[in-house]
């Protein structure tokens, strides 16, 4: 099982990363002004993560694929790392879909 890890950025904003069972980051959030807003973002990942239609596949300027997970209102909840191939990116989406709903929250604040 994966886990959501909540941290504080150098600028004081809260952020979460969804990590797979192997510890690899599979989804990173934006910065939030409050811990409550960050935890709300995690709940949005839990709700939207299992829904295939919520994933937006993108390509970075360097040609590497990545994805965004979006809420029903179209707002980006989290973004993936850059992947070496479309195949490995799709594995990343599958990992978020598997881990999003049941992963515990760990605070490293």
Residues 1-29 have pLDDT tens digits of 899 999 999 999 999 999 999 999 999 99
84: Cβ–Cβ under 8 A, 6 or more apart, which residues?
64
pLDDT band at 53 (very low <50, low <70, confident <90, very high): very high
Domain of 43, in residue numbers: 3-107
Q: What is the pTM of this model?
A: 0.95
For position 59, which CATH number holds?
2.30.29.80
Number of domains in the chain: 1
pLDDT band at 47 (very low <50, low <70, confident <90, very high): very high
Beta strand 14-19 with 3-8: parallel, antiparallel or unpaired? antiparallel
Residues 59-72 have pLDDT tens digits of 999 999 999 999 99
Residues 91-104 have pLDDT tens digits of 999 999 999 999 99
Instruction: Indicate the DSSP class of residue 33.
Output: S
Quick one: pLDDT at residue 2? 93
């Amino acid at each position: 099982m994966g886990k959501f890890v909540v941290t504080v950025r150098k600028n004081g904003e809260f952020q979460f990363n969804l990590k797979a069972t192997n510890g690899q980051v599979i989804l990173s959030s934006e910065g939030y002004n409050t811990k409550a807003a960050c935890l709300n973002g995690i709940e949005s990942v839990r709700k939207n993560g299992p829904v295939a239609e919520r994933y937006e596949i993108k390509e970075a300027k360097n040609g590497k694929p990545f994805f965004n997970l979006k809420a029903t209102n179209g707002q980006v909840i989290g973004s993936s790392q850059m992947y070496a191939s479309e195949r490995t990116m799709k594995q990343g989406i599958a990992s978020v879909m598997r881990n999003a709903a049941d992963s515990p929250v760990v605070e490293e604040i």
